[in-house]
Amino acid sequence: MERERLLGRLRSEHFDLLVIGGGATGCGIALDAAARGLKVALVEREDFGSGTSSRSTKLIHGGVRYLELAFKRLDRLQYRLVRDALAERSILLQIAPHLTKWLPLFTPLYRTYQLPYYWTGLKLYDALAGTAGGVPSRFVSGREARARFPQVKSEGLRGGVLYGDGQFDDARMNVSLALTAIEQGAAVANYVEVVGLVQREGRTLGAAVQDQVSGGSWEIEARGVINASGPWSDRVRRMEDASAEPILQVSSGAHIVVDGTFSMPEAGLLIPKTEDGRVLFVLPWLGHILIGTTDEAASPDGPPTAGDAAIEYLLRHANRYLTRRVERTDIRASWAGLRPLIRDPRATDTAGMARDHVIVGGPGGMITIGGGKWTTYRKMAQDAVDYAIRQANLSPAAPCRTASLPLVGAEGFDPAKAKLLETRNSLEADVAQHLSRAYGGRAEQLTGLLAEFGSARLAAGHPFLEAEVVWAVRQELAQTALDVLARRTRLAFVDQAAARAALPRVVELLASELSWDTERQKREIVDGLMRIDAGI
């Protein structure tokens, strides 16, 4: 089995670099370093993306709000961040075309004086993107807005601005990064936790790890260690230096998901100003509508949850703009994530803090990378690997290659092939579309499982198939029912009742693939239900 092979390597080899954390940042670093020819290990204590990287708003963006802040505060750092993120947006759309797409976003405006303000701002956003831009922004008249976006309240609507940004499937992109890193030669494993560091003469030269599946413990040795544990980075830093001052300020962001009919299926909505001076998104995502997010100071202890106050806030703001009222009973899923923001002693709130990243070296040489955002994971990885090469005196065989290195699934992807998948395998159209987008060029290989496992859906009304459970174990390192329900498919993120109902069948399929006894099956059901109910 692939996981056993990778664990065997992690137990026996000596590495150039050990990466702690398998979110976007850690997997991006493992991929970058392996593609330069370095010998890389990565361990993730839970599943790839189970921390923050599966819980984002799913936008690949420079951030229009950060551009506004850059101008209001004459802040060159924010300005540079937006520009760099827009360049990254263009790269990600190219290296993972199956998991990403352009999304038009409409900003409805109800005061005439707002129109030139937002139009100028979004034109500037276009200009910053330069040739990397996609859909150019444009003014939308009141009449066009009412005709094209009937889901948006029309009373007093003066018009708005339409602009483009990127959208993606964050958890699948995270798994693709891990798989691509493995293809490039990295030894990568989920459910392996760093419980201490290996230190010799004051230098950090590896980590003590524990396999959360088998319980086995051992040490991984490496010339350099990179701590990419997101919101938990300060905790890992304290393994090296018990008195390390925190570099992070963690903030929590909640989302709710409702039926796809509440808003436009082809365009998102950017609500330009909330009560606390932020922006809010109402986005079509996987056939549903995703509404988010909030921004509140939080602690990294315990799983993040979308609390009552956050849910009320999201409903209140969405209902100011949507024609059809969203009630609490309409919510199909709610979940929250923790932002690993860089501490800024001058900041009065977390919403205004720059989404920059920093790299710091600890007293024993462990490198910590913190902050940033999903959109900039590739650039963050490049900076971290450059730093590690200098710090640990490594000799890479090649320079950074990730700007043009396709992620697993990108090769052979052609949106037109969905029709072929549909007819060749007698699939329904939504299923074929889903397989094509989620697996890209590998969708055809996945359909090879249909002869044995059939094309039964995991849940009525959702395009995810039982065969994907088997694929997730055999090809994508899934280890638990929740890995499949939340991060290989996204059922638990869009419909928690459907995920609950599908759980026993997923456990049954996994039990057969992974030879689970009845005790383990029972535990998976109890754990799975608890996590789904708590918001994953």
Distance, in Å, from the CA atom of 470 to the CA atom of 489, rounded to the nearest integer, reads: 12
Distance, in Å, from the CA atom of 144 to the CA atom of 196, rounded to the nearest integer, reads: 60
Nearer to ligand FAD, 106 or 374 (CB): 374
Nearer to ligand FAD, 81 or 392 (CB): 81
Report the amino acid identity of residue 331: I
Considering Cα of 171, then 367, then 190, then 97, what sign does the dihedral take?
Answer: positive
Nearer to ligand FAD, 351 or 418 (CB): 351
Distances from the Cα of 532 to the Cαs of 336, 444, 496, 513, in angstroms?
12, 31, 6, 22
Q: How many CA atoms lie within 13 A of 399 on its CB side?
A: 2
Regarding 284 and contact with ligand FAD (CB under 6 A), the answer is no
Regarding 337 and contact with ligand FAD (CB under 6 A), the answer is yes
Report the amino acid identity of residue 349: D
- Candidate segments 158-166, 308-316, 366-374, 387-395, binder of ligand FAD by CB under 6 A: 366-374
Regarding 59 and contact with ligand FAD (CB under 6 A), the answer is yes
Regarding 197 and contact with ligand FAD (CB under 6 A), the answer is no
Regarding 129 and contact with ligand FAD (CB under 6 A), the answer is no
Distance, in Å, from the CA atom of 342 to the CA atom of 344, rounded to the nearest integer, reads: 6
Distances from the Cα of 107 to the Cαs of 140, 147, 240, 295, 484, in angstroms?
9, 15, 47, 21, 35
Residue 139 burial class via C-beta count within 10 angstroms: exposed 0-12, middle 13-18, buried 19 and up: middle
- Under DSSP, is residue 158 helix (H, G, I), strand (E, B) or coil? coil
Regarding 166 and contact with ligand FAD (CB under 6 A), the answer is no
Regarding 44 and contact with ligand FAD (CB under 6 A), the answer is yes
Identify which of 487, 501, 489, 490 has the alpha carbon closest to the alpha carbon of residue 529.
501
Residues forming a β-bridge with 138? 162
Which of 3, 9, 56, 98 forms a contact with ligand FAD (CB under 6 A)? 56
Regarding 535 and contact with ligand FAD (CB under 6 A), the answer is no
Place of tokens 């209140």: 316
Structure tokens at 169: 């499937």
Residues forming a β-bridge with 527? none
Query: What binding mask, one character per residue, do residues 244-283 give for ligand FAD by CB under 6 A, x or -?
Result: ---------x------------------------------
Regarding 232 and contact with ligand FAD (CB under 6 A), the answer is yes
Nearer to ligand FAD, 56 or 436 (CB): 56
Cis-peptide into 293, omega within 30 deg: yes
Regarding 81 and contact with ligand FAD (CB under 6 A), the answer is no
| Binding footprint of ligand FAD, residue count (CB under 6 A) | 38
Regarding 3 and contact with ligand FAD (CB under 6 A), the answer is no
Q: How far is the CB of 167 from ligand FAD (least distance, A)?
A: 9
Regarding 10 and contact with ligand FAD (CB under 6 A), the answer is no
Q: How far is the CB of 336 from ligand FAD (least distance, A)?
A: 7
Angle (nearest 5°) at CA 289 between 285 and 295 = 95
Regarding 87 and contact with ligand FAD (CB under 6 A), the answer is no
- Candidate segments 10-18, 48-56, 389-397, 482-490, binder of ligand FAD by CB under 6 A: 48-56
Residue 211, number of CB atoms within 10 A of its CB: 18
Distance, in Å, from the CA atom of 270 to the CA atom of 315, rounded to the nearest integer, reads: 15
Query: What binding mask, one character per residue, do residues 373-392 give for ligand FAD by CB under 6 A, x or -?
Result: xxx-----------------
Which of 45, 317, 488, 490 forms a contact with ligand FAD (CB under 6 A)? 45
Q: How far is the CB of 331 from ligand FAD (least distance, A)?
A: 16
Which of 224, 231, 268, 535 forms a contact with ligand FAD (CB under 6 A)? 231
Structure tokens at 216: 């086995």
Distance, in Å, from the CA atom of 388 to the CA atom of 30, rounded to the nearest integer, reads: 12
Q: How far is the CB of 105 from ligand FAD (least distance, A)?
A: 12
Q: Which residues contribute to the site for ligand FAD (CB under 6 A)?
A: 20-26, 43-46, 50-53, 55-59, 193-194, 228-232, 236, 253, 293, 337-340, 372-375
